Amino acid sequence: MTDKNQCTLGIETSCDETAVAIYDSRAGLLAHEVYSQIALHAPYGGVVPELASRDHIRKTLPLVRSLLEKSKLALTDITGIAYTAGPGLVGALLVGAAIGRSLAFALKIPAIAVHHMEGHLLAPMLEAEPPTFPFLALLVSGGHTQLVQVDGVGRYTVLGESLDDAAGEAFDKTAKMLGLPYPGGPALAKLAQQGNPARFVFPRPMTDRPGLDFSFSGLKTFALTTLKEHADDPQARADIAVAFEIAVAETLAIKCRRAMEQTGLQRLVIAGGVGANQRLRQRLTQLAEQLKAQVYYPRPEFCTDNAAMIAYAGCQRLLAGQHEAAAFHARARWPMSELPAV
Ligand code: KG4
Ligand code: ZN
């Protein structure tokens, strides 16, 4: 570790959000901006990768400019650049990587490739009372559902993960089936508020056997069968939405409990887009109370994709002296176990 100040510009372009942020190792988060491409992809019912890449090209540099204005900093105040290098849509990733790398080259400062899921996992560190290591992290995003033992930055042991659809993916697919617009997760959560939680009981997949892996794809089939059985009932959609949401929250809570008992860890971190779900947050808060454990959430805007978490993660690695050579790469798939420890 150096005691030099690190003022890190973070760039996130892995999917359908263009985001930039500045994290300073002494002063903390100075500013962040997110531009969502929801309106661009909505007519197609999901993310169109090529449209995403082109929009990142249009938005990234103007966002950096407005970020600098907002934080009253000049480009020359930046001492390092962190860009998301994967996992994600490879064309979209390459936009952030190319811009991040080029800026670093022009400014003669180091750049670091950041793992998107490491960003999510460290997002609670941006809050006023961050967790201390070690902790258990439940990562629930659109592409990943993982339980990870976190012993430090880059010291990750994956204890369990989804064998098929990730939790967010299950939300999105079930929402689509219920006729809800993209992005499905928040829309399904909204519909669930009008549902009767006592009407349908959905299964809690893979909780009747030992282990910490997940399987959510059966829930969407269960939802479809239930929907067909009640095709003429206008209330059924909301009742299915709430039953689905409860089943996901309950399944995740059962696995979190198991993982905490198995590892003896007393701190639980929830991260990733599904972590913004209120029902899940309430359920895991209740679990933590029962276990006399602590639970930590990023604020909802830092659960979904953002650059503050990328700037933070990159800053920790730059402080440890890590950085990349001028060549850059982006990876659609990237196991977290390949990350070097700090
Ligand atoms: O972490 P994230 O923003 O992007 C990925 O890295 O994948 O997660 C996006 C996922 C989507 O599947 C979205 O539907 C889900 O998070 N999501 C939610 C909520 N907000 C976002 N799912 C349930 N309830 C929410 N409130
Ligand atoms: Zn994400």
Q: Whose CA is closest to atom 22 on ligand 1?
A: 185
Torsion of CA 173, 179, 183, 187, to 10 degrees: -110
Whether residue 115 is predicted with pLDDT greater than 80 in this model: the reply is yes
Percent of the chain with pLDDT over 90: 96
CA–CA gap between residue 294 and residue 71 (Å, rounded):
33
Give the mean pLDDT of 252-268: 98
CA–CA gap between residue 11 and residue 332 (Å, rounded):
17
Q: Whose CA is closest to atom 16 on ligand 1?
A: 273
Give the mean pLDDT of 125-148: 97
Mean pLDDT, rounded, of the chain? 96
For residue 3, what pLDDT band results from cuts at 50, 70 and 90?
low
| Pocket, ligand 1, Cβ cutoff 6 A | 15, 120, 141-143, 168, 171-172, 183-186, 189, 272-274, 276-277, 304-305
pLDDT in tens, 158-214: 999 999 999 999 999 999 999 999 999 999 999 999 999 999 999 999 999 999 999
pLDDT of residue 57: 98
Identify the weakest region by mean pLDDT among 7-16, 79-88, 328-337: 328-337
Query: 59: which DSSP letter?
Result: H
Whether residue 106 is predicted with pLDDT greater than 60 in this model: the reply is yes
Q: What does the block give as tokens for 188?
A: 């399904």
Ligand 2 center to residue 140 CA distance, Å? 9
For residue 46, give every residue at least 6 positions away whose Cβ sits within 8 Å of its Cβ, in sequence order, or none: 172, 182
- Do residues 30 and 41 lie in contact, with contact meaning Cβ atoms separated by under 8 Å? no
Q: What does the block give as tokens for 171?
A: 């939300």
172-178: list long-range contacts, CB under 8 Å, 24+ apart: 172/46, 172/142, 173/220, 174/219, 174/220, 174/223, 174/241, 174/244, 175/241, 176/45, 177/220, 177/223, 177/224, 177/227, 178/223, 178/227, 178/237, 178/240, 178/241
Give the mean pLDDT of 303-319: 98
Give the mean pLDDT of 136-159: 97
For residue 327, what pLDDT band results from cuts at 50, 70 and 90?
confident
SS3 letters across 304-326: CCCCHHHHHHHHHHHHCCCCCCC
pLDDT of residue 328: 79
Site to substitute for ligand 1 among 118, 141, 165, 333, most atoms within 8 A of C-beta = 141
- DSSP for 225-272? HHHHHTTT-TTHHHHHHHHHHHHHHHHHHHHHHHHHHHH---EEEEES
